[in-house]
């Protein structure tokens, strides 16, 4: 099993309960203690723009909810793709969805930064498998 503790996780979800559950799952699975939470895509993007130098080092995984008010996950992806590529060169995205349908998966495939779509509630086993596939390549 690969050591993933160095990865910084950024949970972006408008639902406080989902955030709490996902933080607890990451901690219980002993994946990492480097967990940052944001209750909206707007807040996450503001943080990213203000602290872009932090994202240029280390490994970052964004767990991005698809369905959010004001700015949904796909709108957030569009903003991310407009940023300086150096900011996100060490960043990957896993999209989170309550229901995974073929159209959602097709839509995410258009974004190279998105590595997988994971169903909510988060299954850390599938997350670990995805991360090991990515970081072992």
Query: Is 0.75 topped by the overall pTM?
Result: yes
pLDDT above 70 coverage of the chain, percent = 99
Name beta bridge partners: 74.
none
Average confidence (pLDDT) over 84-107: 88
May I ask the CATH class of domain 13-136?
Answer: alpha beta
pLDDT at 22: 95
Whether the per-residue pLDDT at 65 is higher than 70: the answer is: yes
DSSP the chain: ----TTPEEEEE-S-HHHHHHHHHHHHHTTS-S-EEEESSHHHHHHHHHHTHHHHTSS-EEEEEES--SSS-HHHHHHHHHTS-TTTTTTEEEEEEESS--HHHHHHHHT-TTEEEEEESSP-HHHHHHHHHHHHH-
Closest Cα partner for 91 from 108, 75, 109, 113?
113
pLDDT at 1: 60
How is residue 100 written in tokens? Answer: 């995974």
pLDDT at 117: 92
Average confidence (pLDDT) over 86-107: 88
Average confidence (pLDDT) over 40-47: 98
Instruction: Share the mean pLDDT of the chain.
Output: 92
pLDDT tens sequence across 125-137: 999 999 988 888 6
pLDDT at 137: 66
In angstroms, the CA 42 to CA 18 distance is 18
What are the residue boundaries of the structural domains of the chain, listed by start? 13-136
């Amino acid at each position: 099993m690969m050591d993933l503790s160095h990865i910084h996780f950024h949970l972006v979800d408008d639902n406080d309960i989902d955030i709490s559950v996902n933080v607890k799952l990451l901690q219980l699975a002993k994946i990492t203690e480097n967990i940052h939470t944001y209750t909206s895509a707007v807040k996450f993007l503001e943080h990213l723009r203000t602290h872009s130098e932090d994202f240029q080092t280390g490994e970052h995984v964004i767990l991005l909810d698809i369905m959010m008010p004001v700015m949904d996950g796909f709108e957030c992806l569009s903003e991310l793709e407009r940023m300086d590529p150096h900011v996100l060169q060490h960043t990957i995205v896993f999209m989170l969805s309550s229901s995974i349908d073929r159209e959602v998966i097709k839509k995410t495939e258009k974004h190279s930064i998105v590595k997988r779509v994971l169903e909510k509630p988060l299954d850390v086993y599938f997350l670990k498998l995805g991360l090991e596939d990515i970081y072992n390549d």
